[in-house]
Structure 1
Amino acid sequence: MWAMILASIVGGIPIMIQAYQALRNKVISIELLVSIAVIGAFFIGEYYESGIVTFLFLFGAYLERRTIEKTRKSVKSLVEMAPTTALLVDESGEAEEVDIEFVEKEDRLLVKTGSKVPVDGLVLVGEGFVDEATITGESFPVKKKVGDHVFAGTILNNGTLQIEAQRVGEDTTFGKIIELVEEAQDSKSVMEKFINKFSKYYTPVVLIFALVTYLFTQDIRLAITILVLGCPGALVIGVPVSNVTGIGNGAKHGVLIKGGEVMDRMNQVDTMVFDKTGTLTQGTTAVTTFISLEEEEEKSLAYLMAIEKESDHPLAKAIVAYLGEKNIRNPYPVQSTTVLEGRGIQAIVQEEEVLIGNERLLKEQALTIAPKTQKEIQAIKEQGNSIVLVTVSGELRFVIGVSDEIRPEAKKALMKLRKMGIKRFVMLTGDNQITAQAVATQLGIDEVKAELLPADKVKEVQKLKDTGHIVAFVGDGINDSPSIALADIGIAMGSGTDVAVETSDIVLMRSSFDELVHAFGLTRATIFNMRQNIGISLATVGLLFVGLFAGFIYMASGMFVHEASILFVILNGLRLMKFRVK
């Protein structure tokens, strides 16, 4: 008996402190219910019940803390992987180890075999294979050579690199991933917000119910037992565990989900809208057709090379690679360049105007295309190529066909998504209608809108939303950022670019359709898991009250069942850690 009295006091004090702190903030908490029940049981001489109740309640709280810690391991492991030192190369070529805080932009750093890349940077010297699992979730090493980008926190498996620091500290992709996942796990889902609001009203109702029961029955033991059994512990812990575990699973597999509200919205998506270049296709374009319409083409080719070398667009890179193979140089400096959104580039070289772009650009400039050339362009488009037209001083000089390989996993992934509940697939692209339709036909996409400017894509997304669809827009996170921001869910296919991380709701770090399938499946599984936990919690409370009034549930046994339900919803939530789409 004395042991139980001591247990009641030692266990009850921290519970009562928490209840008092909640009351100071005008919150009637679960701890208040338990505190009143323990004090009441203590003063009527039910020391065994009061001791067991305090132990079980504290043990349940301990399990909750351990669970949250376990589900946050994905973030902790990321933080532990953050590099703390770097080898700084001085002007004489000597490398000195310094703390990462002292590294600045444009510093030259040495990375040895087996060590972590300390910053986001550009490879200046050397080559090697880098494990980028911390960034992409993919442990297969990636070869890096001069001119390639490397990311902080990745590991150089073999080789030696000298890199130039471009982003340091919290500005690195790795730093932003850590920040993003931490914020996401702290954010609350719609269900979690509802449960928190529900518990604020539910707890006072239990108090009133216990008081009314005592007034009618004069049975203090029954009233105290109602307070114990009425604690919504499983209800309060079940939803957050599912939310945090689901986000942790995503981070582990290269899918960054920005919080519980994103989970809710993604689960409701019925329409997925895709950009074409770099999303449905690889983004690794190549020139397949090059038609010259002039005999003395050397100067025009040099103009083209000079302008396209200044662009990062996939089509420009393909043209530069093609001209490089033909040993075309660019001796002429570009005097000015104007990017014409969704159409191409207007530049001045050697006082001559050069236009590089699509057919829309030529129409706007009132430039005509000969019937023979029109037929050639039509034939190139029918083969699934994008068209690039080049004019110099108002005359069409080159017709270029550029192809972009469809992602090999895209078709299978879209079939999976359709089986999982996506009803409609739409492609919005700035490319021509024939090329876009060829890609859509291969992938089984329902609707195609081609030759669109970024502003036109925004209008199309808004139209879909206005007709009642819940829309997810999947793009590269750069040119499509307005559409990504407008959609109900913005998904960036990109290796953690700044714009992708900032504007999207979900970032697919490997730019993989398998990640897209995992993201959709994970959100559906997480929401279903939350609903399961809510059902288990409410059913347990209901059964406990039935058992209490039927006479086969008492204070201690009821508290045991109550805490067992908490453990059950925790274990149910933790199942999400091993979730993979079948």
Structure 2
Amino acid sequence: MTKNKARGYKILSKSSKRVRLEVPFLCTPAVQTYLSHLSREFEVIDHLQFYLNEYRLTLHLKEPDEKLLDQWIGAIKLEDLSRLYQNKEEFLAISPGKIVARQCLKRSVYLTLVPSPLRLCVTLTKLGLYARQAFYSLACGHLTMELLDFTAVLAAVSMGDPDGAGTIMFILELGERMDAWTLDKSIHDLTDSLSQKQVLIWVEDEKGERRQLASDFIQKGDHIVVQEGGEIYFDGFVVKGQGAVQESNLTGEPFPVSKTIGDSVTSNTTLEYGDLVVEVTNPNFNAHLKELVAAIHESSKSQSQKEVRLTQKADTLVKYNYLGMALTYLLTGSVQKALSFLLVDFSCALKLSTSVAYLTAIREAMDKGIVVKGSRYIDQYPQIDCLIFDKTGTLTTSKLVISQVVPFGGHTYEEVLKIGACLEEHLYHPIANAVVMKAADEGIVHEEMHGPLFHIASRGIRSSIGEDEVLIGSYQFIEEEKVRLTEEQQELIRAYRGKYNLLFLARAKELIAIFCVDTPLRANVVEVLKRLKDEGKEIALLTGDVEDRTLDLREKVAFDEVKCQVTPEDKLNFIKERQAKGQEVLMIGDGLNDSAAIAQADLGIVMADSSDLARQTSDMIFLSDDLQSLFDLEDIYHRLQKQLDWNLFRAVGINSSLILMGLAGVLPTSFLATFHNLTTMLLVADSFKLKESKKEIRQQGLRKEKSLSRPSEK
């Protein structure tokens, strides 16, 4: 599979009749159909299984075939995939152009076919609706753009121009329709990356017969079939089979949980090994992910203080429209010129562009793998004084690795690793995978050498090599099995136990190796923490780990404070103490034990594999599992501020110019509302993409220089 790995294909798991792949292209419904048709050309392929993660699929085989995978991948034609992607449907069936065209057509038909007396009645009826909104704002003690609109329409009717009043209302209503479209589009763009398509689910009926059913048609009480490596899309309980489920994105723990008849299972989890039949108790497809989507929609209502201030500032500008109207009428005596101040307001463009700019910032954060649950959290980040980090799963990866192998009794490093991998390759377990991957990284081939294999739950594996019994598992397991330990081995165990999780390998009741299991630091953790320190931030490490397991990290990073073996209450109290001193605190964690601290902090962030409760209490989620996202967040904040300042400058500048042109008679009064709404639309449309920061412009320049300096390929 070397050449396929180079092409971007990656084997995630493999058994005799199943191969789970990560592919370098998106498996859209059209691509799924193409791959399914292609698989029929290979008799050994039974069927393909696709997942919510559209970059993954599983080949189910009728019989083992070592050469099949290379042949099947070789048959996939990239030009065919390109054509399928070109036919992808657009997001919205109704475009802004269609909205304008339809409303203009309706207006033309209305003016042509409806008699003048009836049009007057319609105008007066609508005027009553405008009056209700205007008086409501007055009753609340506010001068708003609704009051401004009512005054403009009333003035036109009073001057004996009901059709002019109708035109003003038509333009205002058209603007409202366009505003609604832009806001819907911004929210749609925000959640599009989490939108879920239908998938086919295997369902087992009362007779034991199986058929596929679209996920939308699954009901409570249905029995769904989950095969090894498959994702569980619905909450339920096991009615047949047994296996182990990976629940790390709910609990934060990397170890699969054994499931058998009667045990409950949860959506958004994966069956690591085994086969299950699950009775559905909640027919909501991927219910936990839908809760996240709902939270994002709620984020449009969660305004930052700055957004609220800008909106309020927009309303305060209305009084200047009335002041300008009064002064113009007193100085010129012209009602038409005075109306210029009624038909052009500053608040509409400022309000809408501000809302869209914040939603765009949230969407762009999502594009960088950051889920932001409210616009106020974007403004909150620059105010942070102290950043508190959990260690396991936050500063370290959630993937287990073998960092050290210690052989005993004359056995070589290669020998004990070969035996360990040979035994552990039969289990789908993070520690087992770590041993197998260690052997693969070292280039150690491990053919079958053992006898029948017996798995003892929560303990380890018992088997045999020749006449000797072999054991691999926990310290408790080898202790129960009366494995002999020398004084030297016991001393090493005491030394390593504080720093690693230990896996023990024994043969003929003698310990022959210790595997040191560790969770390494994330790739750029040290650089990120040092940069935060350079920016003047206070950084603290609060971990439930023992002190020995933090020594390596503490040597690399000068934390302002480190606390080990802390409880959830300790973390909570630490944050409260900092807040009592007037500090703004950010907490980054991943597990259930971090939930209270995350909720208490001024800004709570969790990693992608965090527990369900931690995700719910957090303000942000780093889907990329990369702490570099902190600086992406900072960059988005600065770009947002630049966009807001630009919107304010143009809203005041352009609308002031329109008023001046109305006063000078350059533009007819009837055209002012039209140009005002067009200006608003342009500002809102421009807010769909934030202004680039100096950092991004500099990076684009570097990329351009590299592309120019790269020699052309022949």
TM-score by length of 1: 0.66
Q: Whole-Å Cα distance in 2 between the matches of residues 24 and 167 of structure 1?
A: 51
Report if aligned partners of 1:477, 1:494 keep a CA contact under 8 Å in 2: no
After TM superposition, give the deviation of residue 516 of structure 1 in Å: 4.7
After TM superposition, give the deviation of residue 509 of structure 1 in Å: 3.3
- Is 1:279 matched up with 2:394? yes
Report if aligned partners of 2:344, 2:658 keep a CA contact under 8 Å in 1: yes
Q: Whole-Å Cα distance in 2 between the matches of residues 287 and 79 of structure 1?
A: 34
Q: Whole-Å Cα distance in 1 between the matches of residues 532 and 259 of structure 2?
A: 37
Q: Whole-Å Cα distance in 1 between the matches of residues 225 and 351 of structure 2?
A: 50
Instruction: Write out per-residue CA displacement over residues 51-98 of structure 1, whole angstroms, 9 at most, x where no aligned residue.
Output: 775555444333322211221224675786254874432454322548
After TM superposition, give the deviation of residue 217 of structure 1 in Å: 4.3
SS state at 2:606 partner: strand
- 1:269 corresponds to which of 371, 374, 384: 384
SS state at 2:176 partner: helix
Structure 1 residues 95 and 379: CA distance shift in structure 2, 3 A: closer
Report if aligned partners of 2:544, 2:565 keep a CA contact under 8 Å in 1: yes
- Is 1:488 matched up with 2:602? yes
After superposition, where does 1:143-154 map in structure 2 within 5 Å?
A: none
Structure 1 residues 225 and 545: CA distance shift in structure 2, 3 A: closer
- Is 1:88 matched up with 2:199? no
- Is 1:501 matched up with 2:649? no
Stretches of structure 1 that go unaligned for 5 or more consecutive residues are 137-143, 292-313, 334-348, 351-371, 389-398
- 2:545 corresponds to which of 431, 444, 450: 431
Structure 1 residues 55 and 172: CA distance shift in structure 2, 3 A: closer
Aligned residue identity for 1:511: D
Aligned residue identity for 2:295: L
Q: Whole-Å Cα distance in 1 between the matches of residues 360 and 623 of structure 2?
A: 19
- Which residue is equivalent to 1:455? 569
After TM superposition, give the deviation of residue 100 of structure 1 in Å: 5.2
- Which residue is equivalent to 1:530? 644
Structure 1 residues 88 and 74: CA distance shift in structure 2, 3 A: farther
- Is 1:33 matched up with 2:148? yes
Instruction: Write out per-residue CA displacement over residues 484-509 of structure 1, whole angstroms, 9 at most, x where no aligned residue.
Output: 01111111113464202321111223
SS state at 1:491 partner: strand
After TM superposition, give the deviation of residue 276 of structure 1 in Å: 0.4
After TM superposition, give the deviation of residue 474 of structure 1 in Å: 0.5
Structure 1 residues 103 and 284: CA distance shift in structure 2, 3 A: same
After superposition, where does 1:34-73 map in structure 2 within 5 Å?
A: 34-41=149-156, 44=159, 53-54=168-169, 56-73=171-188
Structure 1 residues 558 and 100: CA distance shift in structure 2, 3 A: closer
- Which residue is equivalent to 1:327? 471
- Which residue is equivalent to 2:294? 179
Report if aligned partners of 1:272, 1:422 keep a CA contact under 8 Å in 2: no
Which of structures 1 and 2 has the larger relative contact order (alpha carbons within 8 angstroms, sep 6+)? 1
- Which residue is equivalent to 2:592? 478
Percent identity of equivalent pairs: 21
After superposition, where does 1:400-439 map in structure 2 within 5 Å?
A: 403-414=518-529, 423-439=537-553
Q: Whole-Å Cα distance in 1 between the matches of residues 362 and 458 of structure 2?
A: 41
Q: Whole-Å Cα distance in 1 between the matches of residues 403 and 237 of structure 2?
A: 30
- Which residue is equivalent to 1:309? none
Structure 1 residues 508 and 227: CA distance shift in structure 2, 3 A: same
Aligned residue identity for 1:22: Q
Instruction: Write out per-residue CA displacement over residues 394-430 of structure 1, whole angstroms, 9 at most, x where no aligned residue.
Output: xxxxx997632111243455567678x6733322223
- Which residue is equivalent to 2:413? none
Stretches of structure 2 that go unaligned for 5 or more consecutive residues are 1-106, 251-255, 407-429, 436-456, 463-469, 481-487, 503-513, 700-714
Structure 1 residues 204 and 14: CA distance shift in structure 2, 3 A: farther
Q: Whole-Å Cα distance in 1 between the matches of residues 644 and 176 of structure 2?
A: 19
Report if aligned partners of 1:263, 1:527 keep a CA contact under 8 Å in 2: no
After TM superposition, give the deviation of residue 233 of structure 1 in Å: 1.2
Structure 1 residues 561 and 24: CA distance shift in structure 2, 3 A: closer
- Is 1:225 matched up with 2:369? no
- 2:689 corresponds to which of 549, 567, 575: 575
- Which residue is equivalent to 2:370? 255
Structure 1 residues 225 and 501: CA distance shift in structure 2, 3 A: same
Structure 1 residues 99 and 278: CA distance shift in structure 2, 3 A: closer
- Is 1:19 matched up with 2:130? yes
Q: Whole-Å Cα distance in 2 between the matches of residues 538 and 257 of structure 1?
A: 30
- Say which is worse superposed, 69-78 or 489-498, in terms of deviation: 69-78
Report if aligned partners of 1:474, 1:491 keep a CA contact under 8 Å in 2: yes
Instruction: Write out per-residue CA displacement over residues 277-296 of structure 1, whole angstroms, 9 at most, x where no aligned residue.
Output: 111001334676899xxxxx
- 2:580 corresponds to which of 463, 466, 473: 466
Report if aligned partners of 2:389, 2:540 keep a CA contact under 8 Å in 1: yes
- Which residue is equivalent to 1:353? none
Aligned residue identity for 2:576: Q
SS state at 1:263 partner: helix
Report if aligned partners of 2:370, 2:622 keep a CA contact under 8 Å in 1: yes
SS state at 2:687 partner: helix
Instruction: Write out per-residue CA displacement over residues 519-551 of structure 1, whole angstroms, 9 at most, x where no aligned residue.
Output: 444344335433432343234444545666677
Report if aligned partners of 1:181, 1:247 keep a CA contact under 8 Å in 2: no
Q: Whole-Å Cα distance in 2 between the matches of residues 430 and 160 of structure 1?
A: 33
Instruction: Write out per-residue CA displacement over residues 192-225 of structure 1, whole angstroms, 9 at most, x where no aligned residue.
Output: 3334434454435533552454355432122211
- Is 1:562 matched up with 2:676? yes
After TM superposition, give the deviation of residue 190 of structure 1 in Å: 2.0
Structure 1 residues 4 and 99: CA distance shift in structure 2, 3 A: closer
After TM superposition, give the deviation of residue 264 of structure 1 in Å: 2.4
Report if aligned partners of 1:386, 1:431 keep a CA contact under 8 Å in 2: no
Structure 1 residues 429 and 99: CA distance shift in structure 2, 3 A: closer
Report if aligned partners of 1:238, 1:573 keep a CA contact under 8 Å in 2: yes
* Root-mean-square deviation (Å): 5.4
After TM superposition, give the deviation of residue 26 of structure 1 in Å: 3.8
TM-score by length of 2: 0.55
Report if aligned partners of 2:164, 2:670 keep a CA contact under 8 Å in 1: yes
After TM superposition, give the deviation of residue 439 of structure 1 in Å: 1.2
SS state at 1:405 partner: coil
Q: Whole-Å Cα distance in 1 between the matches of residues 217 and 109 of structure 2?
A: 54
SS state at 2:308 partner: helix
Aligned residue identity for 1:473: M
Instruction: Write out per-residue CA displacement over residues 348-379 of structure 1, whole angstroms, 9 at most, x where no aligned residue.
Output: x99xxxxxxxxxxxxxxxxxxxxx99997996
Structure 1 residues 463 and 551: CA distance shift in structure 2, 3 A: farther
Structure 1 residues 99 and 423: CA distance shift in structure 2, 3 A: closer
- Which residue is equivalent to 2:506? none
- Is 1:234 matched up with 2:349? yes
Aligned residue identity for 1:493: M
- Is 1:193 matched up with 2:308? yes
Q: Whole-Å Cα distance in 2 between the matches of residues 457 and 153 of structure 1?
A: 29
After TM superposition, give the deviation of residue 380 of structure 1 in Å: 4.7
Structure 1 residues 154 and 274: CA distance shift in structure 2, 3 A: closer
Q: Whole-Å Cα distance in 1 between the matches of residues 609 and 548 of structure 2?
A: 30
Instruction: Write out per-residue CA displacement over residues 154-194 of structure 1, whole angstroms, 9 at most, x where no aligned residue.
Output: 999xx997563687345722221221112112333323333
Instruction: Write out per-residue CA displacement over residues 230-285 of structure 1, whole angstroms, 9 at most, x where no aligned residue.
Output: 35211110111112223334445543211122222234334322100111001334
